[in-house]
Amino acid sequence: MVRESWYRPAIAALGVVAAGSIGCLSVGARAALREAEAVPEVAAHSLDPRARPGSGAVDAAKAGQGGANAAARAPSDAELAGPIDRAAVTAAVLARHPALVAAAHRVRALAERARAEGSLPAPELMAEIWQIPIARAYRFDQAGMTMITLRQELPPAGSLALSAEAMALEARAAAALVVAEARVIVREVDRAFVDYAAAVARGAVQLEAIAIAEQLGDATRARYATGAPLADVTKADLERSRMAVEIEREAGRGEEARARLNALLGRVADAPLGPPRETPVEIMGPEADELADRAAIGSPEVQAAELMRRSAAASAEAAGREATIPKFLVGVSGFVPTETMGAAWGASFGMSLPWVWGAASGRRKSAEERVHSEAAGADAARLRVRSEVTRALAEARSAERRFALLRDVVRPAARRALEATQAGYATRGTDLLSFLDALRSSLAVDLDLVEARAEHGRALADLDGATGERVARKPLPEATEPDRHE
């Protein structure tokens, strides 16, 4: 029993080391890791069109509940071949995009690294054999002393927790950037869908205009039979041919927009994609004036920059402790009984001298400079977000006014002029050139209206991307004097 008692202090010391390695993650580090690792669910819900800060979907996501029901369901390829809307395409892209999968794995990698930072350095197990006779160098059993030592390095108090917290905050920053990256993808999808819907709408306008041109051709041929000049027939046919060319051009634009959406969906360019559903024009709600202030606080880019500043501060504090507080080394040794010495044990103690050579001091100064850099980066992120939101907000409001003016004033006037000249040509009170001019003007106004709606949609997509959330919308009010000629 005496021979076996030497290893008991070693086992006890190992137990102390293991116990000390547990709990090196501070409460703040653990909370940061939980938030970082929840990023896939929170990102999915925060990007849902119905989810805004304070909404039930986001609250459920942050609580880890209602995952499948709160976010928009990603449609299948068969469903994408039917009528589609922006929310369905966005959900499909987010469910398929590999960039988000890669970003989520980066967050988890940082989280695991944070856990590693919070653990004690691995203990060292050493075996030493002393005083083997030179003449019998192979006779280990005749050694004067055989010693087995277990050593553990103990960093300065609190430095491990601070390092783990710094890495956990960096993981949270990466998680915020996942949402920012997803928001960039959503903005690209929004703009591509706006272009797709605009191409379809322009094609419909061109088809309507060519139908009127065909009626005009029939009217010119009827008038030619009663003595009207042949030039009217040829001019009407030319106008119809020109419109047919424009229809083909719009069809090409529609194919290009469809190819962009299919590329975002990870499908071949000519994969079936249904027509966009008719949706009312939406404008910003009354809280739009507060967007810049809210985005400067809640934008994912700003959140990531602020988290990186806090991470740098924790790293600087850890470096400061390592530069002023020495590391300690403790060990326990067990001596195997030999012919000259019975079983025994011993202990060792050592410490570093961080004040010598200045390396630790240099690392501390470097960490302090990083704090200043990250703080300036956070200020720059707030300024950039404010600038982007202000610009997108101005563009959206300008597009709103232009669309309303075209819809409520210009288009009714163009339609009345077209109908008047069309009726006048039927009764021989208007010449062909006046009819063609009114038709072209009406077509141009309708195309301007489609483009104004597209510009408004792109501006809202940019505004959503700049703020990091889906901005609240409301239907555009109807005109005070409805267009009776539509």
Q: Is residue 42 part of a domain?
A: no
Least confident of 67-81, 155-169, 257-271, 282-296: 67-81
pLDDT at 172 over 60: yes
pLDDT of residue 350: 92
Please state whether the predicted TM-score (pTM) of the whole model is above 0.75: no
Give the separation between CA 49 and CA 94, rounded to whole angstroms.
12
Give the separation between CA 225 and CA 101, rounded to whole angstroms.
70
pLDDT at 225 over 60: yes
Q: Which of 177, 168, 159, 193 is nearest to 89 (CA)?
A: 193
Q: What is the average pLDDT across 379-396?
A: 88
Least confident of 78-82, 139-143, 462-466: 139-143
Q: How many residues does the chain have?
A: 486
Number of domains in the chain: 1
pLDDT tens digits along 5-19? 434 444 444 344 333
Least confident of 66-80, 158-172, 416-430: 66-80
Give the separation between CA 19 and CA 476, rounded to whole angstroms.
64
- Phi, psi for 336 (deg, rounded to 5): -70, 135
Whole-angstrom Cα Rg for the chain: 37
User: CATH number, domain at 239?
Assistant: 1.20.1600.10
Beta-bridge partner residues of 474: 283
For residues 44 and 158, which has the higher predicted lDDT (pLDDT)?
158
- Phi, psi for 221 (deg, rounded to 5): -70, -35
Q: What is the average pLDDT across 113-141?
A: 84
pLDDT of residue 330: 92
CB-CB neighbours of 83 under 10 Å: 12
pLDDT of residue 449: 92
Provide the domain limits for residue 284: 7-37+72-475
Q: Is residue 66 part of a domain?
A: no
Q: Is residue 52 part of a domain?
A: no
Give the separation between CA 91 and CA 180, rounded to whole angstroms.
16
pLDDT of residue 151: 92
Task: Give the model's confidence band at 224: pLDDT under 50 very low, under 70 low, under 90 confident, else very high.
Answer: low
Decide: 205 and 105 in contact? Cβ < 8 Å.
Answer: no
For residues 386 and 296, which has the higher predicted lDDT (pLDDT)?
386
Percent of the chain surpassing pLDDT 70: 80
CB-CB neighbours of 460 under 10 Å: 26
SS3 annotation, the chain: CCCCCCHHHHHHHHHHHHHHHCCCCCHHHHHHHHHHHCHHHHHHHHCCCCCCCCCHHHHHHHCCCCHHHHCCCCCCHHHHCCCECHHHHHHHHHHHCHHHHHHHHHHHHHHHHHHHHCCCCCCEEEEEEECCCCCCCCCHHHCCEEEEEEEEEECCCCHHHHHHHHHHHHHHHHHHHHHHHHHHHHHHHHHHHHHHHHHHHHHHHHHHHHHHHHHHHHHHHHHHHCCCCHHHHHHHHHHHHHHHHHHHHHHHHHHHHHHHHHHHCCCCCCCCCCCECCCCCEEECHHHHHHHHHHHHHCHHHHHHHHHHHHHHHHHHHHHHHHHCCCEEEEEEEEECCCCCCCEEEEEEEECCCCCCCHHHHHHHHHHHHHHHHHHHHHHHHHHHHHHHHHHHHHHHHHHHHHHHHHHHHHHHHHHHHHHHHHHHHCCCCCHHHHHHHHHHHHHHHHHHHHHHHHHHHHHHHHHHHHCCCCCEEECCCCCCCCCCC
Query: How would you classify residue 311: left for phi > 0, otherwise alpha for psi between -120 and 50, otherwise beta?
Result: alpha
pLDDT of residue 32: 64
Q: Is residue 67 part of a domain?
A: no
pLDDT at 236 over 70: yes
Q: What is the average pLDDT across 304-321?
A: 90
Q: Is residue 49 part of a domain?
A: no
Q: What is the average pLDDT across 330-346?
A: 82
Q: Is residue 136 part of a domain?
A: yes
pLDDT of residue 162: 87
When the pLDDT of each residue in the chain is averaged and rounded to a whole number, the result is 78
pLDDT at 3 over 60: no
Q: Is residue 240 part of a domain?
A: yes
Give the separation between CA 308 and CA 263, rounded to whole angstroms.
34
CB-CB neighbours of 381 under 10 Å: 20
Q: What is the average pLDDT across 203-221?
A: 80
pLDDT tens digits along 339-363? 767 788 888 899 989 888 888 888 8
pLDDT at 276 over 70: yes
226's CB contacts (< 8 A; 6+ apart) are: none
Which amino acid, one-letter code, is at 300? P
Task: Give the model's confidence band at 2: pLDDT under 50 very low, under 70 low, under 90 confident, else very high.
Answer: very low
Q: Is residue 468 part of a domain?
A: yes
Count of alpha carbons within 13 angstroms of residue 327, beta-carbon side: 16
Residue reference for tokens 């669309």: 403
Least confident of 189-203, 235-249, 352-366: 235-249
pLDDT tens digits along 454-482? 999 998 888 888 887 788 788 887 765 44
For residues 337 and 198, which has the higher predicted lDDT (pLDDT)?
198
pLDDT of residue 126: 92
pLDDT tens digits along 40-76? 444 444 444 333 333 333 333 333 333 333 345 678 8
